Structure 1
Amino acid sequence: MAKLFQEIRRHRQKEFDLTFLVMDPGYNRENRALIESNAEALGIPITIFESTIFDTVDTIEKSPCYLCARMRRGYLYSKAKELGCNKIALGHHYDDVIETILMGMIHGAQIQTMMPKLHSTNFEGMELIRPLYLVREADICAWRDYNDLHFLQCACHFTDTCTTCHVDGTTSSKRLETKKLIAELKKTNPFVESNIFSSMENVNLDTVIEYKKNGVRHNFLDEY
């Protein structure tokens, strides 16, 4: 994503300023070096700042992923605003979106999606954007391999020590389980991924029991 932004700016397709911001939440020396090596290979001048997120979430016995993600975003918002930025761009892709939709339904008893952009509720004037929203994970991996790059999966202390880690480096996380479920469903329905994605564009409120808008619950009985 950083390279895409760099190329767009280089060819003057859009006028904007860029800061390539990297947060080190407590990486070990090897993982920190990998990030720096990737940036150097791509010619991307990164700005790295440290946080203690890994140490903080280390105290949580079960999977700390949700808290870790929220803390990462908060640190990025804060540092970006300090540097005079008005947006942060995250690298979530198409596959992340459909996995999040299913995870919310199966594990959270809710229907929601990752938004392509949204205004920050805690940092005034800041916005979050997801430029890779329509890009498939397989295409990103193909680009990575073509450029002989190596990406970090998570690299947190939890995945280093968890008892559900597999020899291929993956873990028995809810997201991985959901990814496997989608792959299984695709065997009988080749359109399952696009159908999940498009379902968030085809919500019929006339057939929804209850929904929330701006934090207020609305029930179909309110207007029955």
Structure 2
Amino acid sequence: MQTLTAKNQYNFNKLQKRLRRCVGKAIEDFNMIEDGDKVMVCLSGGKDSYTMLDILMFLRQRAPINFDIVAVNLDQKQPGFPEDVLPKYLQSIGVEYKIIEEDTYSIVKEKIPEGKTTCSLCSRLRRGILYKTAKALGATKIALGHHRDDILETLFLNMFYGGKLKGMPPKLISDNKEHIVIRPLAYCREKDISKYSVIKEFPIIPCNLCGSQENLQRKVIKEMLQGWDKQHPGRLETMFNAVQNVSRSHLADPSLYDFKGLRSTSQLENEEGDIAFDKPSIVPPKIDSELYAEDNEPSAEEKIDVQFINAG
């Protein structure tokens, strides 16, 4: 970790507390980790997965329940991949780990034409291998390092390119119904994770397979969201709030709401009713100041009784 001045150390302590608070609240809100769980933390060698592992190891020490952690990395045999970096780091922090060697790189390069994005096939191959590994290890939860910005990017990707109002859930059941996948960083901002990883000096391993692709649709969306965040501070927080505040009756999906069966005598429960003819009024939602507090506010455990939030 970097040697910091007193002022920078103070700011880092706030940053670390904020990230731990966000992870703790996400775990609590979605019941991500339970007593006796064995959590398989998928470690790619990027800033997000390093941060996730670091914070989960801290929370394991403070949590009122017992759970185990095993870090798993998939070595996809990309040319120039530094095979010694992750084992050396994982040994230094004393965590159980497993390195899986599968040559998915050759498969992707063979199947995907030059110039086309490789993410879709690569992710499917990785997913199958990780599910198989989780079963072999007896893991009850699979933790992925996607953060809040990833969730918003996925939402806009599906809207702009897929015609779906679909994001990336903090918790889901796998396609084969055998595993629970969790995203403990769901409430964490990418810019906070980036700062944290630089100060902690995690040994970042770049992904040469997809990281150098300039034509990724996700990259376009990311730049759009980052532009909004700079021009309109707080906009991303507001959008993420919207993902958690859905009105089914004010969308247009008949599979989610019985529009055909709606009659003038229908009893509406927990719906907003007819506001189509009301004067437009945009009221900014209340943003969770506890979650994204930048100043020296009391820590989460001093305000609410949430078992996983021990920001310390």
TM-score if structure 2 supplies the norm length? 0.60
1:202 CA drift (Å): 2.7
1:31 CA drift (Å): 3.3
Match of 1:91 in 2: 145
Which structure has more relative contact order (CA 8 Å, sep 6+)? It is 2
1:81 CA drift (Å): 0.8
Which of these residues, 20, 24, 47, is aligned with residue 71 of structure 2?
20
Q: Which amino acid aligns with 1:70?
A: R
Which of these residues, 215, 218, 238, is aligned with residue 175 of structure 1?
218
Q: Give the whole-Å Cα distance in 1 for the aligned partners of 2:120 and 2:85.
A: 25
For the residue of structure 2 that corresponds to 1:49, the secondary structure is strand
Offset from partner CA, 1:78-107 (integer Å, 9 cap, x none)? 111111111110000111111111111111
Q: Give the whole-Å Cα distance in 1 for the aligned partners of 2:240 and 2:201.
A: 30
Q: Give the whole-Å Cα distance in 2 for the aligned partners of 1:127 and 1:80.
A: 10
1:73 CA drift (Å): 1.7
Q: Does 1:48 pair with 2:99? A: yes
Q: Which amino acid aligns with 1:190?
A: P
Match of 2:199 in 1: 146
Output the aligned Cα RMSD. Answer: 2.4
Q: Which amino acid aligns with 1:73?
A: R
Q: Give the whole-Å Cα distance in 2 for the aligned partners of 1:12 and 1:223.
A: 47
For the residue of structure 1 that corresponds to 2:228, the secondary structure is helix
For the residue of structure 2 that corresponds to 1:27, the secondary structure is coil
> Cα gap change, 1:101/1:122 in structure 2, threshold over 3 Å: closer, same or farther?
same
TM-score if structure 1 supplies the norm length? 0.81
Q: Give the whole-Å Cα distance in 2 for the aligned partners of 1:128 and 1:159.
A: 24
Match of 1:8 in 2: 59
Q: Which deviates further from its counterpart, 39-48 or 50-59?
A: 39-48
Match of 1:130 in 2: 183
Q: Which amino acid aligns with 1:15?
A: N
> Cα gap change, 1:184/1:139 in structure 2, threshold over 3 Å: closer, same or farther?
closer
Q: Give the whole-Å Cα distance in 2 for the aligned partners of 1:97 and 1:91.
A: 11
Long gaps (5+) in structure 2? 1-51, 264-312
Q: Which deviates further from its counterpart, 23-32 or 55-64?
A: 23-32
For the residue of structure 2 that corresponds to 1:114, the secondary structure is coil
> Cα gap change, 1:83/1:133 in structure 2, threshold over 3 Å: closer, same or farther?
same
Q: Give the whole-Å Cα distance in 1 for the aligned partners of 2:172 and 2:65.
A: 20
Match of 1:117 in 2: 171
Match of 1:193 in 2: 236
Q: Give the whole-Å Cα distance in 1 for the aligned partners of 2:202 and 2:79.
A: 19
Q: Which amino acid aligns with 1:19?
A: V
Rg larger in structure: 2
For the residue of structure 1 that corresponds to 2:72, the secondary structure is strand
Asked if 1 retains the 8 angstrom alpha-carbon contact of 2:146 and 2:186, the reply is yes
1:35 CA drift (Å): 2.9
Percent identity between the two aligned chains: 29
Asked if 2 retains the 8 angstrom alpha-carbon contact of 1:209 and 1:219, the reply is no
Match of 2:112 in 1: 60
For the residue of structure 1 that corresponds to 2:69, the secondary structure is coil
